[in-house]
Structure 1
Amino acid sequence: MLNDFFNLIFPKICFACNGVLLKQEEVICTSCQFSLPKTNYHLDEDNPLTKIFWGRVDVKNVAAYYYFKKGGRVQNLLHQLKYKGAKQVGERIGELYGFDLQKSNWIETVDYIIPVPLHSKKLKKRGYNQSECFARGLSKSTNKSLETTILYRKKHSETQTKKSRFNRWENVSEIFDVKNTEKLEGKHILLVDDVITTGATLEASVKVLLKVNCRVSIVTIASA
């Protein structure tokens, strides 16, 4: 009764559409779960995101859960996750996407899920890594192990938001490294991030992971 009274005074809000959540709903309302623009790229091995990396790095599979549209509900979700401290948004999206990924023919071969890391300075300022929140949700619903210590960001880089494709690549080309690599040798790694645009950050991450003699696939929350 106390919870019902509290929810009446301070109702839980859907992070996508700002509508009031029903009692059994969490983070994203049922209507948004079914109507947000899904790509279904995990079911198409030659999708447009996979083609971004052709001739650049050897990536096995690439997919994103949602299409990103400026001013849309997916942008609302990402804004809440990245700038408003709503870690539960990333975890919930990851959990939902994990269930969808199980319909693919490749997710079962994944051994570890690795989020693209933040530099320690940015991590300290923000307090959390939004990609790791997404990765935790994926790990929960796919039953794949989460690994957050091997891939790390050794240099702090500027924001990518207003950079050209070449400048994005130049900004992140040598900022990642790996340690304690024997754990990943011969394994299939699922590298995850929040958004994919030009793929520069993910490409830089993949390059250092491939030094470990492993296979790499990629999934993100959204495709810009």
Structure 2
Amino acid sequence: MLKRMGCVLLDLVYPPRCPGCGCSVEVHGNWCPPCFAKIWQPRMISGSHKAGKLDGCYALTSYSGDMKKILRALKYSRALKYEKGCQYILDAFPWQDRFARIDAVVPVPLSTRRMYKRGYNQTEVIFRPWVERYGCWKDLLERVRSTEAQWHLTKQQREKNLKRAFEINKDSFCITGTHLLLVDVMTLGLIQNNKKCA
């Protein structure tokens, strides 16, 4: 009862708005149909299943327009109000059957320096509430060295930049024979139709 009253008061002070255009919506985090239609682009990234033992890489939207605005605000301006808008997108994930094979979901960690500067990992803010409704969140990766910002590097330079930047925290979870879902906010890399994904 108290929780419901709190939600009503919150809606009165901060009415629910579409993360894209700002028009009124029923619930915080909901997108209006026109804005959602613009950003909703679920697909498997072409050729991603060929990389080693990776079954595939899925993208739900592209790093452009409203999504670029939201992700940049989350990443650089502490705009945590957009977390629910990201949850709305993830809740529409069209391949729910794939979760049956997943043993754990693993986030890509930030460097210690960036974590200290930002105060949070945007990947965890976006994905963890969604993941914990379906599966097991595990911080299996450790970033063992800092890397350069990727945006100005070529594909070959990015690969070199990330080489040996991560190690598996073997003490926390036995990964032998497991199926892991790696989650991250990807804003670099050529994919289908030469778009960037998020």
Instruction: State the TM bucket, normalised to the shorter chain.
Output: 0.7 to 0.9
Q: State the alpha-carbon separation in 1 of the partners of residues 56 and 11 from structure 2.
A: 45
The structure 2 residue matched to 1:187, chosen from 145, 154, 178, is 178
Name the residue aligned to 2:153: 163
Name the residue aligned to 1:216: none
Q: State the alpha-carbon separation in 1 of the partners of residues 23 and 120 from structure 2.
A: 26
Q: How does 1:83-162 map to 2 (within 5 A)?
A: 83-90=76-83, 92-94=85-87, 96-101=89-94, 103-141=95-133, 143-148=134-139, 150-162=140-152
Identity of aligned residues (%): 22
Q: State the alpha-carbon separation in 2 of the partners of residues 68 and 75 from structure 1.
A: 5
Q: State the alpha-carbon separation in 2 of the partners of residues 170 and 138 from structure 1.
A: 32
Structure 2 unaligned spans of 5+:
1-7, 191-195
1:15 matched to 2:19? The reply is yes
Name the residue aligned to 2:58: 63
Q: State the alpha-carbon separation in 2 of the partners of residues 153 and 160 from structure 1.
A: 15
CA positional deviation for 1:87: 3.2
Q: 1:33 to 1:185 in 2, by over 3 A?
A: farther
One-letter amino acid of the structure 2 residue matched with residue 51 of structure 1: G
**Greater share of strand:** 1
Structure 1 unaligned spans of 5+:
42-46, 200-221
One-letter amino acid of the structure 1 residue matched with residue 100 of structure 2: E
Q: State the alpha-carbon separation in 1 of the partners of residues 97 and 42 from structure 2.
A: 13
Q: Deviations over 1:48-93 (max 9, x none)?
A: x250462x42201210110223xx1111121121112123534542
Instruction: Give the length in aligned residue pairs.
Output: 185
Q: State the alpha-carbon separation in 1 of the partners of residues 100 and 141 from structure 2.
A: 22
RMSD of equivalent CA atoms: 2.7
DSSP-derived class of the 2:40 partner: coil
- Give the alignment's TM-score, normalised by structure 2: 0.79
CA positional deviation for 1:96: 3.4
Name the residue aligned to 1:51: 47
